[in-house]
Amino acid sequence: MSSIQNADTSRSTSIFTLFSAQLLPATLMLGGGVVLYAVECYITATIAPSVVRDIGGLELFSWMTTLFVAAGVLGSISVATRPRGIGLRTVYIVAALIFGAGNLICAVAPTIEIVLAGRAVQGFGAGMLGALGYTFIRFVYPEPLWRKASTLYAAIWGVATVLGPTLGGLFSQGSAWREAFIILVPLAGLMALSAPWLLPRVEDDRAQQKTPFLQIALLLGAVLLVSLAGTTGNMSSKIILVAISVASVSAMLTVERKSASRLLPQGAVMLSKPISRLYLTMFTMMLVLTSDIYIPYFLQTLHGVAPLVSGYLVALVALGWTFAAFFSAPFSGKRANAAIIVGCILEAVATASLIPFLARDNPSGDLVVLGPAVVAMFLMGFGVGLGWAHLVTKVIGLVATAEQDRASAAISTVQSLGGAFGSSFAGVIVNGAGLADPGGVPGGLSAATWLYALMALPGLVAIAMSLTLKRASA
Of 406, 412, 423, 404, nearest to 388 (Cα)? 412
Per-residue pLDDT at 9? 45
The alpha-helical segments, DSSP class H, found in 58-140 are 63-81, 88-108, 112-135, 137-140
Of 147, 198, 85, 71, nearest to 333 (Cα)? 147
Q: Where are the domains of the chain?
A: 20-200, 212-260, 266-474
Which parts of the chain sit beneath pLDDT 70? 1-13, 158, 161-162, 165-166, 172-174, 231, 233, 308, 471-474
Per-residue pLDDT at 143? 83
Per-residue pLDDT at 173? 67
SS3 label, residue 4: helix
Per-residue pLDDT at 432? 87
SS3 label, residue 391: helix
Per-residue pLDDT at 174? 65
Give the distance from CA 311 to its chain's centroid: 19
The pLDDT tens digits of the residues spanning 419-451 come to: 888 888 888 898 888 888 888 899 999 999 999
Neighbour-count burial for 328-337, b at 16+ CB within 10 Å, e otherwise: bbebeeeebb
Q: What is the DSSP letter of 22?
A: T
Per-residue pLDDT at 280? 96
Question: Concatenated DSSP letters for 140-177?
Answer: HS-GGGHHHHHHHHHHHHHHHHHHHHHHHHHT-STTTH
Distance CA 37, CA 50 (A): 21
- CB-count exposure of residue 158 (10 Å: 0-12, 13-18, 19+): buried
Of 283, 284, 289, 320, nearest to 460 (Cα)? 284
Per-residue pLDDT at 113? 94
Under 8 Å between Cβ of 152 and 18: yes
Under 8 Å between Cβ of 365 and 305: yes
Per-residue pLDDT at 238? 84
Q: Which CATH number fits domain 20-200: 3.10.20.440, 1.10.8.60, 1.20.1250.20, 3.40.50.1970?
A: 1.20.1250.20
Q: Do domains 20-200 and 266-474 have the same CATH topology?
A: yes
What CATH homologous superfamily does 266-474 map to? MFS general substrate transporter like domains (1.20.1250.20)
